[in-house]
A and B are shown apart, each in its own frame.
Chain A
Amino acid sequence: MISFMPSEEQSVMKETLAKLVQNTIKDNAHDMDEKRIIPQEFIAKFRELGTVQSPIPEEYGGFGLAASPIMNTIILEELAAGDMGYAIACTLPSIFINPILECGTDKQKEKYLPALASGECEATLAINEMHFKFDAASPKTTAEKKGGKYILNGEKCYVPLADVAKYFLVAARCENENCLFIVEGGTPGLVIGEREKNLGLNTLSTYKVTFSSCEIPEENKLCGAEGYDRLLQKTRIAMSALGTGVSRASFEYARNYAKERVQFGEPIAHRQAIAFMIAEMAYEVDAMRLMTWKAASALEAGRDAKRESYLAKLYAGEMTMKITDYGVQILGGHGYIREHPVERYYRNGRCIACLEGLAIV
């Protein structure tokens, strides 16, 4: 039955994460951004909840609970309302786990899932590439089959936690098809570059990763076009959940500020020029969330969500900028100063349209 209301379980998750954010990063987000770091214990606090392991079958050390794309959007929004880099770092293993669960062979599951279930290692996705007109739907990185091996060539960027990741999921073209390959850290030909300096997401460490004649065994191919398409759908929904989170944070901050900031003898919120921006922020945040839920609902029902996920990400890309821009504008000059978080939301928000594949549902 159609419903716009979270279940008990969904509400509890939202509240739990809101508290977690409050108790960990809330007062530290500014410093974390300046120092470009997320304290490990903050990530550990999230991982303790077990949401990352939850869909892994019990035989591989997980909880064997059905994966819920909708629940994952709730998690991502809530974390991103604290800090988007934090949201990406916390949930990063899922970006490797979920595709393995969906298209992995038994052998692949056996090999990779136990270590991820126990939380002893990180895994990441290499999908973005640093060139004009980058399109996740046609990566330039290539994989060539030779003998019993694939040989990968290409350059990836914005690969989160590449410095510590044990496993990389890599998006590459192979025989005119989009494919995903598993590359283990330390494989010859896999070169981790310097940590990147970006417009936003400063808390998250991201890296350039180069594949130069990087050889991997044949059995490391995870999937072809179909699985790749599913990955795009799931990551696009996740990106719109992240956009919803950061936009909501900007909206809430600006709303509270507008009620307190007095100019010309009364709070600026009493002026329509400000109040109408805030009204628009409110319903656009809701619209973004509903589009995200709509796409996730299709996945949850076992349907294809190609169209819905594409539109959700496109919408979130546009609206996140509009809303976070309003956020800065409502604070005026004060919004331009790094003491207030709205400039950070504005910088972070740009990634929704620029990048792909930073999180998954």
Chain B
Amino acid sequence: MKRVHMRSLRILQCAAVLAAGLAVSQEASADIYNDGKVLLTGGVFTVDGAGGGGAVPWATISGYETRDGINGSAAFTYVNLPALQVSFYGVNVGFWDRFELSYVDSRLSLNLPNLQTVALVASLADLDIGTEPWNSTLGMQTFGAKLRLFGDAVYTSDSWIPQVSIGGLYKKDRNEDLVKTLGGYKTKDYEIYLAATKIFFPISTLVNVTARYTSANEDGLTGFGACKNNGLGTGDCDNDRELRWEVSIAHLVAKNTAIGGEWQQHGNNTGGQSVNINGLNLTPIAGALANLGIDLGSALKQKNEGDWFDLFMAYAPNKNISFVVAYLMFGNISVAPDQNGFYFSTHLTF
């Protein structure tokens, strides 16, 4: 069963890459290939793969195609926070400014001394908790699709009606053991979002509001939902999805440069829990360590998950490439407090 599932995911993944490649090779034979959108109006590449800002998917369809054709893009994003680094590699394809398919592979490496201590202890105790001493990587694959429902974000300047799209994301964590260790319940799940985007030319500003139906922890990188530690190993798990809000505001200072900010509401599924080792309450281990003179009790308690905020600058010298730099304020992530840092993204459009 699991095998079959993996296989179908592989095929989907191949299809996404193939579709992107196809869009590129069409360049020569014109007609269906299209790059007729005005600079930056397709948005950039989110960490979810969907076209949008840095973290928030917009209602715009990614790529520079208009309703007359197809366009594809690829992106690389690197996030550097004190306790972790994340790389995102992704592709997406926009069809007739109507429909979008996307795929992203993300890798988050944790370098947490407190988690590493647990890893050391666990390896001594011969427990497989998905984290090895000095090497804890959380991988995730995200498959996405987005459909524009109605509206035109750019040209309907005489109406308040925005462009509205609906999108779906399917996310699958690679390191299931580590997700569980960090208190997450599901290691694969879907998210659904509705996004509304509009450019207000008189103030040179794009505004986007997105509502996302999800149970994700840190965008899914640390799983979905939570298992409360009851110390019995059976767990009290739930995966309650909820509606969370996201806002992007991008002010265009020139036709190729935008500055702005984003806010993404997060849940707090795992906050207050201590790290979960094979369903066992950590207390005994913490106790054992305490005997050795190491106090782990509070250091291994999951912090309350914070909402994500960022301030960004996007620069598109032409229709083939754009760059985004951002300052991220991500609050607490798992057992690491106050994660603020930098984001750098390159978006190639064909």
Q: Do A and B come from one complex?
A: no
Chain A residues at the B interface, C-beta cutoff of 8 Å: none
Chain B residues at the A interface, C-beta cutoff of 8 Å: none
